[in-house]
Amino acid sequence: MTARTATLTWAALVTLTLATWLLARGVEGGWVIGALITLAGIKIYLILAVFMGVRRAPGGWHAAALIWVVLLMAVIGTLAWRSLA
């Protein structure tokens, strides 16, 4: 990982965190939960792929990590959506 990649990823994570904070602050509705979970999933993927090196891992580790993030966000989203009903 280069310093440029780390810096750009860090900047993306900060931007996503600020977007999450602004979105969750004072906005209500079911769509907000979906947006927040999506932003969290993107942040998890960036950390796994760039900082933990899964993007360059051998075999199917990159695909497995991506599938894990998607499934995790689907489960969390389903649980959150059911709690609203």
For residue 75, pLDDT beyond 80: yes
Q: What is the pLDDT of residue 33?
A: 84
Task: Provide the percentage of residues in the chain whose pLDDT is more than 90.
Answer: 56
CB distance 41 to 70 below 8 Å = yes
Residue 58, pLDDT > 90, answer no
With a cut of 80, say whether residue 36 has pLDDT above it.
yes
**Does the pLDDT value for residue 29 go beyond 90?**
no
Question: What tokens does 16 get?
Answer: 């996503």
HSE toward the beta carbon, residue 58, CA cutoff 13 A: 0
Q: What is the mean pLDDT of residues 16-30?
A: 85
Q: Which residue has the tokens 């998890």?
A: 44
